[in-house]
Structure 1
Amino acid sequence: MARLVPSSLRARLALVFGVGTSLVLLVALSLLYVALERQLDAAVDADLSGRADDLIAGMRAQDLDAVRADPLAELYAADGTPLASSAGLNGQVLLRPEQISAVGGGAVRSVVLLAPRPGETPERVRLLARPAGRDGEVLAVGQPLSTVEGAGDRQLVVLAVATPLLVAALCVLGGLLVRAALRPVDELTREAAAISTLDSDRRLPAVAGDDEIARLAATLDGMLSRLAVAFARERAFVDDASHELRTPIAIMRGEIDLALQAVDDPEEVRRSLSAAQRQAARLGRLAEDMLLLARERAGALAVLREPVDLTDLAHAEARALGPVTDVRIEVRGDPVIVDADAGRIRQVLANLAANSAAAGARTARVTVGADGAGVRIEWADDGPGFPPDLLDRAFERFVRGDPSRTSSTGAGLGLSIVRAVVTAHGGSAELRNGPPLGGAVVTVRLPAA
């Protein structure tokens, strides 16, 4: 069965179109033939009715010659005796006595076999018998069906010859239509195959119109654009990560070389190893941050949800982070319970504190509250705020402010980690500058418990 079905979509569509149109055409031609047959029968019946009306009108005027002059007519008495007959009948009768008696209730139509002359082949005759209106007399008029049946046979021959030709023409037309309709798909396929990597600036050709194929082409082209942007971002991430890793590695190698050269000076060796240790810790933090972001992008960042009092946690972190960052951290708000990962929330607060300290802020305020949309944590500081050109992309990875505005030597992953952790909790994060302290404001929203 699989061999009978073409593998090409174009061939399958052409086959379905050909079979479907053939069936429709056959049904339509069959209905046309039946309609023509009925029209011919109706024309014969109308002719018989007209002739009968004319003959009955003549009979009422006591004129039976009209019956005798008719091509095929006969007048019967109530007992079945022929009173007047057409000359072409040659003594034959159109109706039997039992048929004549059945006409008393009204007109009767029938088909009989009649051989007008001896030795001739009987032919089918359409009869109309109706009361003549005089003492139970019955008039029968007939019409040979040879002409009608011949016309029907000719129509059948014409349809039998025309049907295959029409089916073939429709199949060819269907194939051409399918080919024309799928031509844009072929072009899109060839162009897509030619685009080997996302580095290419080539795009899919635009398809004119607003049909399904045009929308598909636009959608695929938009997808390629988004993939190219994502690829560029990932490549920038790798480049930035390589740059960030290169500096501490170079410092570590230099310090280790100094330590090896100063093996006779224990103090110099200790200073070199301490510096190398700090760079190793920096590398560890950078690796952990990049791993966290990679898990968040893959949807695999795990959060251990448990009831947490955000206000109490903020107070604890303020006491721990204040001396480390040299920033005075105020906490305001009533107790708010939320299902969250306490360790990840501490990481968020630590990154925000480090960001404020790097910007030169001296005071930070944490406001915890709940509203109809969930739980809100607002971190505000009195630093210079986010640069206007950085405000829209501060959450991106490896984004750092102007060195003249910050003393940070970090990798620029702090706010990216904040957004990643908040997103993993099903929340959101926003940035702005201004009140309440005039500097940067980071608003974190989490779902209510």
Structure 2
Amino acid sequence: MDGSDIATYRPAWASYWKAWLAVAALAASAYAFPQVRGAYLETPAQLQEIATLVSLAPALLIIAGILFHRYTRAYQIESGRRLRTTIGFIARDRREFLISDKIQTDLKQTVLSRLLGYGTLRFWTGDDQSGQSWVNVAAPNRLEAEIKVLALNTDDAAGKPSRNAVSARTEKPNSRINPPDPATPPLPHTPAGTIFADRAIVLTRFHPSLMRHIGGEFKSAVEPQQFVAKGEPLLTLILMTEDETLFGSGKFADVVIPAPVSGLVLRRSHVARPYYDQSPPDPADEMRTTLLPVEGEPVENGVFIYGALCDAIWKHRDFLFRRQRKLKEIAKHSPGSAQWVATWADDTTIRKALDELLIQPCDEIPARPAFDDYLCEAWIKRPHLRDFLAPLVDETTLRKVNTNYKLEEQQMIEEAIRTHRTTLEKLAEND
């Protein structure tokens, strides 16, 4: 392929600010040291020059490290239709996938990186190709907008970008105008003949202090009221596995958490309870991912859901939990701190906590009335789901839920209620 069809980006020079500060400090030392030595110690000029070269050697090594790190990382957009990340010099790690309207993006910037104009973009597609990251690229907002435009203009049926998509990659966007948000992509179609159960499946509960210690960040891979098949991604946990270094940022692993059963996504959050909250949990009140399952399908347990996550935590446990060893002395003076530090203090307790997570089953509770608001919202906002949800909602609940939560305008509610009546009549005729 012609190289002109590939746009290549690399980590921003500004992202190496720590290394540049070190180079500046070494250069200043190399300049000042001979001056001071010559003035006070009367060192011969030839020895002063040698001393300067020796002082500059570390700075040259740092610059070489910057160049090596930057030019062994390539982030590419190929022909407006494919994203690619290549890392390495001889041994290489390459990830790529097609640009489509299913791509989701995240932008991560610290205060300093915003001031210096760089940031990290993470992409995933909601399937097993998730996990591509462009670390510390320059102008990340512009790149994110550019890729959204490409995704919006992609012809998925043909697997090619539209005529406007390739030109969008080469045209310089107007930074003074915010790019338009892409249209909401269509949700996966619920299979014909699907019958939903009258119970809800709530994802397995985490140990209260786990997220506090590993510092991970959950990102949803699904939309509200989306149908997912068993094994498809529900969440992605972005797990930091290595600290920030002199020549670049830390390393991250993206761990996919799959659906334990086929069903409709009612709630897509996964918020860990505070470590100090010792009250008995109510699964219907906890903000955890909740599914309306397909009738008759067995539900998988923690091994299926969190097997990959526990493997990743165990693999990187020395990095993730080393902080606990430093806190032992502090914990001696605080019973509350001692409790959660002791949980992750050594390999034995870490393994025990992970094993407990693996054997936990999902919570199963009646879908009504606990999730009436979610069921009614799906009925009102997703007309294509009404044939499937008619047995699980009623007119009284539709009116009550909208009064409490103001889901839509009253006119739309009335239309939804009329549709509920006709849907029930149609289903009765089919029976």
Say which one has the larger Rg. Answer: 1
Q: Which has the higher helix share?
A: 1
Q: Do Structure 1 and Structure 2 share a fold, with TM-score over 0.5?
A: no
Q: Which has the higher contact order (CA 8 A, sep 6+)?
A: 2
Shorter chain as normaliser: what TM range? Answer: under 0.3
Q: Which has the higher strand share?
A: 2
